Copies of this chain bind each other. A is one copy, B any other.
Amino acid sequence: MSQMKMVGKQSLEFQDAPWIIQSGNVVGSKEGEGPLGEYFDIIGEDEMFGCENWESAEGELQKEALTLALGKAGVTAKQIRYLFAGDLLGQNMASSFGLEDMDIPMFGLYGACSTAGESLSLAALSVAAGAADLTAAVTSSHFASAEKQFRFPLAYGNQRPPSSTWTVTGSGAFLVGRKKGIAKITGITTGKIVDYGVKDTMNMGGCMAPAAVDTIYANLTDYKRQVDYYDKIITGDLGEIGVEILIDLLKERGYDVKSRILDCGMMMFDKEKQGTNAGGSGCGCSATVLSAFILKQIKEGVWKRVLFVPTGALMSPVSHNEGMSVPGIAHGVCLEGDI
């Protein structure tokens, strides 16, 4: 007898659903000044987080977020059987250096900004399978390390088109296990790479929207659910333009999500006051919003069922320079409260 059931083409249902037991989040000062400022666990004043370079600072964010989650749950790193972690940097530099001292068996992941969904999916799968009683899923991004890698030197002060997003400085860590906690992970819908051939890396929302559409559509059809099954469907970092495209594309496929859709990228910043254009982005965007805000709503019973869909733009500086498209991917995680 299995603890999980394959549903439709690309979804899984967990019979004895694993829980997000606890989580921790750390963000930078700009995120702290945004609309969700009051909800974050730690808001750093120094974007270097006491480190010598941006990449180490991002690693430090991961370490702090996980340490926080462990502390809240009253468990030690030794009790974690698997660590599922990833970030945006080449060769997952933030995860490798940030988490090496944790001394936990580790699966390194790369799903661009969808990594929060990917890591939660594999953590839940492992727990449901009986491969672990307690696991951790950790992701991060840092504005400065991402700009340095993907865009322009910060000192250059380049202009940003309205479709551009602002990489979130932040990390979210989640403890996923058997013990009852904040939210159940009742199922997952694992995304495919979707590539509409868009090449504009300054419009990642446009690049990722088709992937989010594909995953949300697969989730609804696999489970034979209507949109109103979920109180909210929350994408990772599509931003304003990406969400508009998503609503249109899903309407064409018979689903009207307008009244249910939220986007972590759009929730993170106040566009007018903070000059962040289309919204926040980065693995740390959806991870910190989930940890700080979404889980709180679920815990308090404001939302009962949430489909969390982090979205990733699978580009690299090299693929950009070689004139290639920006493929997208999105991983769906079904969250359910106990109230």
Contact A314 B91, CB 8 Å, known A6-B131, A192-B106: yes
Query: Quick check: which of A26-34, A121-129, A154-162, A265-273 contacts chain B, the rest being far away?
Result: A121-129
Min CB distance A325 to B, Å, is 9
Q: Which residues of B contact A191 (CB under 8 A)?
A: 105-106
Contact yes or no, A193 B96, CB < 8 A: yes
Among A35-43, A169-177, A316-324, the stretch in contact with B: A316-324
Q: A3 to B130, Cβ gap below 8 A?
A: yes
Per the 8 Å Cβ criterion, residues 296-321 of A in contact with B are: 314-319
A1 touches B1 (CB 8 A): yes
B129 touches A129 (CB 8 A): yes
Tell me if A97 is interfacial: C-beta within 8 Å of chain B. yes
Which single residue of chain B is at the shortest CB-CB distance from A86?
B110
Chain B residue nearest to A128 in the complex (CB) = B129
- Mark A115-156 against chain B: 1 for CB-CB distance below 8 A, else 0: 000100110011011111100000000000000010000000
Complex Cα distance, B316 from A191, in Å, reads 27
What is the CB-to-nearest-CB distance from A290 to chain B, in angstroms, rounded to a whole number? 19
A89-115 CB contacts (< 8 Å) to partner B: 89-93, 96-97, 99-100, 103-112
Q: Which of A1-46 contact B (CB under 8 A)?
A: 1-6, 10, 12
- In the complex the two chains form, is B193's CB within 8 Å of A106's CB? yes
The reply to whether the CB of A195 lies closer than 8 angstroms to some CB of chain B is yes
Which among B6, B56, B329 is the interface contact of A106 at CB below 8 angstroms? B329
A72–B93 Cα gap in the complex (Å)?
A: 37
Interface pair B2/A130, CB less than 8 Å apart: yes
User: Nearest chain B CB to A1's CB is how many angstroms away?
Assistant: 6
Taking CB atoms, residues of chain B closer than 8 Å to A12 are: 131
Q: Is there a chain B Cβ closer than 8 Å to A81's Cβ?
A: yes
- Residues in B with CB closer than 8 Å to A91 are 88, 90, 110, 112, 314-316, 319
Report the Cα distance A130→B129, complex, angstroms: 8
- Note all chain B residues with C-beta closer than 8 A to A118: 107-108
Does B329 lie within 8 Å of A97, measured CB to CB? no
* A125 to B55 Cα, complex, angstroms: 32
* Shortest beta-carbon distance from A67 to chain B in Å: 16
What are the 8 closest A-B residue pairs judged by CB atoms, nearest first? A2-B130, A90-B90, A129-B129, A91-B316, A105-B190, A100-B193, A96-B314, A108-B110
Inter-chain pairs besides A100-B327, A122-B122, A125-B126, 7 sampled, C-beta below 8 Å = A6-B132, A90-B90, A91-B315, A93-B318, A100-B195, A106-B191, A125-B129
Q: Could you list some 7 contacts between A and B, CB below 8 A?
A: A4-B130, A5-B130, A6-B81, A92-B314, A93-B319, A107-B118, A125-B126
